[in-house]
Amino acid sequence: MALNPSDPDLMSREEDISRASRSLKAMSHPLRLKILCTLGDKEVSVQDIVDTVGTSQSNISQHLAILRDKGILASRKDANKVYYRVGDTRTLRLIGMMQEVFCSAGPGHN
């Protein structure tokens, strides 16, 4: 979907704009972006996230709670493990676009 600034309905969708703003704000922390990139389209245990991202479990848990509370992540418990996944396909598309734009080794990227 292309963004069309001349679309008269663009600014009238306050609910969509508010939801996007809340989601982007929640994702804007570097550690939360690492968590989201670690998850991608997979379901991952908290311990595996800790091992991949490389910080303490308590720190990861705080950031996971923020992402979950904003509706970005979904979780499930299996025995003594908690698994997280990105709960919204729009967020998965956004992560993919961010990786394409900011993580590409193509021309114009340092």
The pLDDT, as a whole number, for residue 102 is 77
Q: What is the pLDDT of residues 12-51, one digit of tens each?
A: 688 888 888 888 899 899 999 999 989 988 999 999 999 9
* Mean pLDDT lowest among 11-15, 27-31, 59-63, 65-69: 11-15
Q: What is the pLDDT of residues 89-98, one digit of tens each?
A: 888 888 888 8
DSSP state letters, 64-95: HHHHHHTTSEEEEEETTEEEEEE--HHHHHHH
Is the torsion defined by CA of 32, 34, 36, 42 positive or negative? negative
Domain ranges of the chain: 29-99
Fold of the 29-99 domain:
Arc Repressor Mutant, subunit A (1.10.10)
User: pTM of the prediction?
Assistant: 0.78
Q: Cβ neighbours of residue 29 under 8 Å, at least 6 residues apart?
A: 63
| Cα distances (angstroms) measured from residue 92 to each of 6, 36, 59, 78, 86 | 27, 9, 23, 24, 7
Helix (H, G, I), strand (E, B) or coil at 110: coil
Share of the chain above pLDDT 70, in %: 82
